[in-house]
Structure 1
Amino acid sequence: MVPLEIVGFVVSPAHAYEGRPSDGPRPVATEQPDAVEVRAGHGVVGDRYAGRAAHREAAVTVLAVEALEAVAAELGVPPFDPAAARRTILTRGLEVEALRGREFAIDSGDGPVLLGGGRPAAPCSWMDAVLAPGAHAALRGRAGVRCAALSSGTLRLGPATVTVTDGLGDPDPARAGLPHRRRLAV
């Protein structure tokens, strides 16, 4: 069990970063609630990725704000608003990139919520427009992890713990970035 802090949530019913970055983000009602409801096989209730078949294995995104802080420092710009990256769960103190291909549970006090870490949450070119020039390239490999919601529950802002539940990542490099699923011998 590893302690961490959940520092933010971003829940939006639609994409804000569509079209040309020069046109600016679409005006979309985006919530930054104190808590989110995660539903197994669905995602975060009210979010644009929830319940969509194409995103079933990637309905929840997790990002360490330390990655944004490091990129801002490298680019020599003021700290970014973490919500501008539009990741569902923003954490501090969690080595998010190590969760690719792992099943893990986050517990913020209401019981564990099991997630299946999958492929990287690749940054888009919008990051240069909404964060700072160069942010798109600088975030590659550290822009978070897309996850499947494997159990239902509530996550809240504040102190939490994470437990890796699968015991091991997928050792096959050909599967890098894909959710690890245990295979049972029959």
Structure 2
Amino acid sequence: MPNQFSLVSAPIDIPALMAELDDPAAGAVVTFDGRVRNHNAGQPVSHLEYQAYPALAVPTGQRILEEEAARHGIIAVRAVHRTGPLAIGEAAVWVGVASAHRGPAFDAARAIMERLKYELPIWKKETYADGHTEWVGPDNKSAETGRVGEPEWQGELLEIWISEGNDFRGRHEKGRLDHGIRGVQEIECVAGMGLRGDRYFGYKPDFKGQVTFFDADTVQALRDRFSMPDLSSSVFRRNLIVRGIDLGAWAGKRFRFQGIEFEASEECKPCYWMDEVVGPGAEEFMKANFRGGLRARILSDGILKVKSGNPDG
């Protein structure tokens, strides 16, 4: 793999990583070795401990490497971050970049390291000489722009729907199941896992559809198109019914909603089941204008709450 990010709980094997960057096309190899120092903010430090959730941290680190490799046109990059307890002087993070020329190699190494510091979901526990401890996490402050966090959605959350089981997945030619779906006024979002209590909670690492957003205007358009004024938005098996947001404009981007950070992955494409739950022609109708909804990963913990009133009200 030309670019690879990894977490390790043992000392970083720097010679092995350097060997992986050998390439006859590389005219420059730039490395950074971030070590545990014996002080912080004027206080003596005795040791550190790093904690991470691999299912979230590894894909985030890999994405950073891929984006910066493409941006700077480099040949290969390796980056490794330690987890667990570390002593003074040990390498906590290592970045190596191979490039045809020194300029892009220096620029890419710096950009990658800065982004790992600001974006990687790894938390550091510092233990000081006097025995007290402090936790430090990523502050999500862009190293390049100084902008804190991601763009905040200004739309409204009207309904929340969750179900303990799948009705459609893997049911082709077998008929749908009948797991109930219920509306709630608030829901816990867990980074890297999903909506607590929902069928996709902890489904698999880095799952693209930990949560789905669905436009309330699409629900109304379907009601009008199929003359079904009482059609519930729950039949679409999407989680969050929102209004005032152009979902199609956010695919592949990060954003915050009610203070929680998300990364949109792709459209939640409609399938032939929509013809069953709504009526013939619903699938085709939903294919236009991003009406299928937006799938996203959850990047930070928090509680989402509906604007007011009852679900589907």
Q: TM-score, normalised on structure 1?
A: 0.74
User: How many Å separate the matches in 2 of 1:56 and 1:22?
Assistant: 25
After superposition, the Cα gap between the structure-2 partners of 1:117 and 1:2, relative to the gap in structure 1 and judged at 3 Å, is closer
1:72 is aligned to 2:223: yes
Cα displacement (A) at 1:92: 1.6
1:29 to 177, 180, 188: 180
**Letter paired with 1:17:** F
User: How many Å separate the matches in 1 of 2:239 and 2:299?
Assistant: 16
**CA-atom RMSD in angstroms:** 2.2
**How many residues are treated as equivalent by the alignment?**
154
- Percent identical among aligned pairs is 25
CA deviation vs aligned residue, 1:87-118 (integer Å, no higher than 9, x gap): 111112221121111111111xxxx1111011
Alpha carbons 2:190, 2:301 under 8 Å: kept: yes
Matches within 5 A, 1:35-114: 35-53=186-204, 56-78=207-229, 80-107=231-258, 112-114=259-261
Which runs of 5 or more structure 2 residues have no equivalent in the other structure?
A: 1-151, 309-313
Structure with the larger RCO, 1 or 2 (CA within 8 Å, 6+ apart): 1
The aligned residue for residue 277 of structure 2 is 130
After superposition, the Cα gap between the structure-2 partners of 1:3 and 1:130, relative to the gap in structure 1 and judged at 3 Å, is same
User: How many Å separate the matches in 2 of 1:55 and 1:142?
Assistant: 24
Alpha carbons 1:73, 1:79 under 8 Å: kept: no
Cα displacement (A) at 1:9: 1.1
The aligned residue for residue 305 of structure 2 is 156
Q: TM-score, normalised on structure 2?
A: 0.45
Alpha carbons 1:57, 1:149 under 8 Å: kept: no
User: How many Å separate the matches in 2 of 1:80 and 1:153?
Assistant: 30
Cα displacement (A) at 1:21: 8.1
Considering only CA atoms, is the larger Rg found in Structure 1 or Structure 2? 2
- Give the ranges of 4+ consecutive aligned residues of structure 1 lying more than 4 Å apart after TM superposition: 20-23
